[in-house]
């Protein structure tokens, strides 16, 4: 009889022999390959920690003993062993299991730990709390990858953990020589020395921690022995475990790019995607355009934080290896280093996920913007990303970063605009610039019907009732809103400001001619582009009422991008219904027969559309 279906919780592991644990490990790998191939997700990291997770839950008594996973995408096996096997049918889908630890799912999950290098700080805090309360009968265990160990926050924690007084704390270093891609830097070189048995003292011992290992992370006997030793230490100890990312599945073992780090649904027999690509993604377009810019300008260099391929820089690295820098999971260092490069006559392009730029806000504000350094930031995965859950949505970038003095922010609506705005960004020499775009296909281009003092006019329908200000990749939704309003007899104009910060004066010129203004953005409504435009309109004396449509001020659950946007009310139907109701409450429109009041640019545009309609 299979063992995996009998795993009601971690205590079940202590009922099995070591031979049965090995049998269980094989069943877990088969289950992972089957379910993650179907749903998509982090396959490679979890195939690599099967035996390690079994040994941890056999040795420690979760949830009394605290297990922290860093980064949390390696916790699928942990979920299986803590009673959540059935939830894998809806992995990373609305109503299903999260792809990361989730305290709402289980008492065995402490934190939604999907931003790297945090576990040691959590663990230090828990160990201090245990000491304060006099708890000596429970363990604190942080499982941290060697990639996460490149983050500065991990070393801040180690500095404190190794000091006095010494508190019981177990650090399991899951060393597979990778984050997303191979781990870089001096830490990686030191771990290689330890793996190869060179006669060197570990840096952990130099910092005051005990060190055990390295040990084969796929040898259950060895793992159980070393974890038992660690538990008996009575002070902080590092257990160095060597694992193989993607172990046990030919299509991940042979993938030298990322070892199946994060996959879309695939055919497990062939390893090929189940769905064909739906066109070029924003990421691919950025990757193509940055190569062109680097080829044309010898002063441009790109920087990434352990995300060479996911941010679209792989082609650039292959073509110009000396023009790309991978700093590891060290966003703060990446940004301040970019400021230094700029001081040295380089124009850096920092390619990073939107959710991770939050970690480098101080550096962007004080090290780049304060010194008016011309650094370009390219934020991938902005807006709703969906499947990876609340910590990976890029829904705060425009709210947080619009407060930075001198920072110019662009939100391209399609691939052509991405190319144009990126080129404009790297040409700007008076301070920092930022270009942000979402995960997924760029879709069809949406050409402007006219340009009005730097603002793209995408649509003009009927009278001057509603001005729809479309921000970035929600332009297709804005166009659908326009159609729905026209069907209700409500005239409208759809515009895209392209550069959302600073607000273009032309928006005020257009807004004052309409009865109502709405803004549509895939960013938090709180402090978002809509709020900034509303302030700019007030400052310029425009009294037209404005309503912002964006993401509510709450953390959003995992699910598809479309499902999450719908849950936020960011569909054409929801927006148009809300606008129609509000329009009914507005006063009758003023007399708009005297078009001489309109400046010549907008008058020409409106007249051209009227001629076309006639």
DSSP state at residue 553: S
Q: Is residue 335 within 8 Å of residue 350, measured between CB atoms?
A: yes
The predicted model gives 118-139 an average pLDDT of 96
Q: What percentage of residues in the chain have a pLDDT greater than 90?
A: 86
For the stretch 217-232, pLDDT in tens is 999 999 999 999 999 9
Annotated binding site for Mg(2+): which residue ranges? 146, 176
Q: Does 165 sit behind a cis peptide bond, omega within 30 degrees of 0 on the bond before it?
A: yes
How do strand 499-501 and strand 408-410 relate by DSSP bridges?
antiparallel
H or E stretch at 454: none
CA distance 117 to 91: 24
How do strand 376-380 and strand 433-436 relate by DSSP bridges?
parallel
Give backbone dihedrals phi and psi of 241, rounded to 5 degrees, phi first. -115, 130
Give the model's confidence band at 398: pLDDT under 50 very low, under 70 low, under 90 confident, else very high.
very high
CA distance 167 to 519: 53
CA distance 91 to 504: 43
Taking the C-alpha atoms of 245, 250, 256 and 258 in order, what is their torsion angle to the nearest 10 degrees? -50
Q: Is residue 16 within 8 Å of residue 229, measured between CB atoms?
A: no
For residue 313, how many other CB atoms are within 10 A of its CB? 26
Give the model's confidence band at 391: pLDDT under 50 very low, under 70 low, under 90 confident, else very high.
confident
Domain 4-253 has CATH 3.10.20.740: no
Q: Can you tell me which residue has the tokens 């709703």?
A: 384
Beta bridge partners of 394: 383
Residue 602, pLDDT above cutoff 70: no
Per-residue confidence (pLDDT) for residue 559, from 0 to 100: 85
Give every CB contact of residue 34 below 8 A, 6+ residues apart in sequence: 268
Beta bridge partners of 206: none
CA distance 364 to 357: 9
CA distance 455 to 529: 15
For the stretch 51-108, pLDDT in tens is 999 999 999 999 999 999 999 999 999 999 999 999 999 999 888 899 999 999 999 9
Residue 435, pLDDT above cutoff 50: yes
Q: Can you tell me which residue has the tokens 């995300």?
A: 307
Q: What percentage of residues in the chain have a pLDDT greater than 70?
A: 95
Beta bridge partners of 300: 347
Q: Can you count the helices (H) and strands (E) in the chain?
A: 23, 18
Q: Which structure tokens are listed for 205?
A: 């011992």
The domains spanning 282-436 and 450-613 adopt the same CATH topology: yes
Residues identified as active-site: 245, 331, 359
Give the model's confidence band at 560: pLDDT under 50 very low, under 70 low, under 90 confident, else very high.
confident
Q: CATH code for 450-613?
A: 3.40.50.920
Q: Is residue 273 within 8 Å of residue 266, measured between CB atoms?
A: yes
Q: Is residue 383 within 8 Å of residue 523, measured between CB atoms?
A: yes
Q: Which residue has the higher pLDDT, 181 or 443?
A: 443
Listed residue (255, 243, 189) closest to 74, CA to CA: 243
Helix, strand, or coil here: 224? helix
For the stretch 246-274, pLDDT in tens is 999 999 999 888 899 999 999 999 999 99
Average pLDDT, the chain: 93
Q: How many CA atoms lie within 13 A of 609 on its CB side?
A: 19
Per-residue confidence (pLDDT) for residue 253, from 0 to 100: 92
How do strand 347-353 and strand 376-380 relate by DSSP bridges?
parallel
The answer for 481, left when phi > 0, alpha when psi is -120 to 50, beta otherwise, is alpha
Per-residue confidence (pLDDT) for residue 599, from 0 to 100: 46
CA distance 329 to 306: 5
Helix, strand, or coil here: 138? coil
Annotated binding site: which residue ranges? 73, 114-116, 146-148, 176, 249, 331
DSSP state at residue 259: T
Per-residue confidence (pLDDT) for residue 36, from 0 to 100: 95
Domain edges within the chain? 4-253, 282-436, 450-613
Listed residue (400, 418, 324) closest to 364, CA to CA: 400
CA distance 485 to 490: 5
What CA–CA distances, in Å, run from 101 to 3, 75, 79, 463?
23, 7, 8, 52
CA distance 374 to 427: 9
Give the model's confidence band at 588: pLDDT under 50 very low, under 70 low, under 90 confident, else very high.
low
Burial code (b: 16+ CB inside 10 Å, e: under 16) for 202-223 equals: bbbeebebbbbbbbbbbbbebb
Question: Is 0.85 topped by the overall pTM?
Answer: yes
- CATH class of the domain comprising 282-436: alpha beta
């Amino acid at each position: 009889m299979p063992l995996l279906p009998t795993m009601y919780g971690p205590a079940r592991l202590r009922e099995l022999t070591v031979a049965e644990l090995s049998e269980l490990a094989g069943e877990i790998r088969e289950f992972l390959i089957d379910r993650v191939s179907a749903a998509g997700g982090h396959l490679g990291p979890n195939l690599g920690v099967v035996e390690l997770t079994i040994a941890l839950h056999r040795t420690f008594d979760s949830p009394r003993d605290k297990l922290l996973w860093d980064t949390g995408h390696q916790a699928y096996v942990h979920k299986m062993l803590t009673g959540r096997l059935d939830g894998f049918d809806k992995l990373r889908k609305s109503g299903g299991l999260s792809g990361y630890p989730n305290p709402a799912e289980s008492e065995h999950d402490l934190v939604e730990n999907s931003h790297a290098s945090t576990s040691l700080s959590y663990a230090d805090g828990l160990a201090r709390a245990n000491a304060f309360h006099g708890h000596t009968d429970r363990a604190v265990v942080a499982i941290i990858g060697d990639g996460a160990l490149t983050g500065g926050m991990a070393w801040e924690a180690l500095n404190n953990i190794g000091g006095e007084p010494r508190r019981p704390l177990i650090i399991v270093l899951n060393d597979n020589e990778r984050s997303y891609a191979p781990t870089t830097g001096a830490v990686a070189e030191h771990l290689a020395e330890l793996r190869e048995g060179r006669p060197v003292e570990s840096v952990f011992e130099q910092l005051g921690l005990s060190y055990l290992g390295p040990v084969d992370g796929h040898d259950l006997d060895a793992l159980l022995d070393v974890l038992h030793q660690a538990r008996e230490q009575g002070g902080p100890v590092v257990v160095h475990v060597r694992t193989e990312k993607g172990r046990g599945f030919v299509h991940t073992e042979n993938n030298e790019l990322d070892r199946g780090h994060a996959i879309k649904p695939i055919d497990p027999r062939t390893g090929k995607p189940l769905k064909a690509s739906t066109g070029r993604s924003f990421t691919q377009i950025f990757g193509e355009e940055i190569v062109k810019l680097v080829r044309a300008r010898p002063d441009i260099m790109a920087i990434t934080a352990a995300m060479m391929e996911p941010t679209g820089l792989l082609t650039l690295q292959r073509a110009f290896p000396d023009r790309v820098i991978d700093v590891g999971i060290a966003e703060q260092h990446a940004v301040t280093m970019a400021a230094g490069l700029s001081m040295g006559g380089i124009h850096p392009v920092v390619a990073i996920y939107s959710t991770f730029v939050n970690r480098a806000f101080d550096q962007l504000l004080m090290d780049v913007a304060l010194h008016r350094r011309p650094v370009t930031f390219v934020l991938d995965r902005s807006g709703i990303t969906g499947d990876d859950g609340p910590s990976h949505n890029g829904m705060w970038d425009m709210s947080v970063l619009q407060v930075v003095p001198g920072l110019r922010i662009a939100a391209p609506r399609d691939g052509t605009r991405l190319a144009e705005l990126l080129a404009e960004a790297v040409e700007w020499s008076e301070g920092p610039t930022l270009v942000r775009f979402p995960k997924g296909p760029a879709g069809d281009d949406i050409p402007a019907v006219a340009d009005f003092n730097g603002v793209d006019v995408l649509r003009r329908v009927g009278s001057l009732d509603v001005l729809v200000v479309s921000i970035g990749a929600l332009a297709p939704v804005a166009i659908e809103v326009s159609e729905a309003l026209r069907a209700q007899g409500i005239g409208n104009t759809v515009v895209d400001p392209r550069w959302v910060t600073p607000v273009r004066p032309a928006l005020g010129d257009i807004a004052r001619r309409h009865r109502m203004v709405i803004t549509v953005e895939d960013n938090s409504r709180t402090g978002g582009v809509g709020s900034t435009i509303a302030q700019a309109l007030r400052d310029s004396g425009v009294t037209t009422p404005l309503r912002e449509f964006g993401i509510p001020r709450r953390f959003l659950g995992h699910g598809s991008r479309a499902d999450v946007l719908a849950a936020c009310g960011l569909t054409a139907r929801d927006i148009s219904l809300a606008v129609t109701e509000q329009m009914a409450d507005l006063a009758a429109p003023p007399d708009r027969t005297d078009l001489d009041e309109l400046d010549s640019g907008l008058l020409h545009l409106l007249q051209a559309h009227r001629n076309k309609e006639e």
